[in-house]
Amino acid sequence: RQYVFNLFSHNSDIYADNGYNEEEWKMVQETKKIFGEPDINVTATCIRVPVLRAHCESINVTLKNELDEGEARKILANAKGV
């Protein structure tokens, strides 16, 4: 049976009240904790991608004010740990 290059959900429980798997729910809760913002809106999708060598995270952000790509790249380039 081939696993490589197929996508599948984490092998964890699915929470009936919100539909998240365990990894997704942890991401929602940890983001709120790290930012110290219990009211921040977070939506997470966590899937396993069995490839030979990789790790990836995709983040989409909705901002109150417009921010062009160049300014966003400049901010991220100067951000510690990014």
The strand pairing partners of 9, in sequence order, are 47
pLDDT at 81: 82
Residue 80 has pLDDT above 90, yes or no: no
Q: Is the distance from CB of 25 to CB of 14 less than 8 angstroms?
A: no
Q: What is the pLDDT of residues 46-55, one digit of tens each?
A: 888 777 777 7
What's the chain's length in residues? 82
Quick check: pTM over 0.75? no
18, 37, 70, 72 from 66: Cα distances, Å: 31, 21, 12, 10
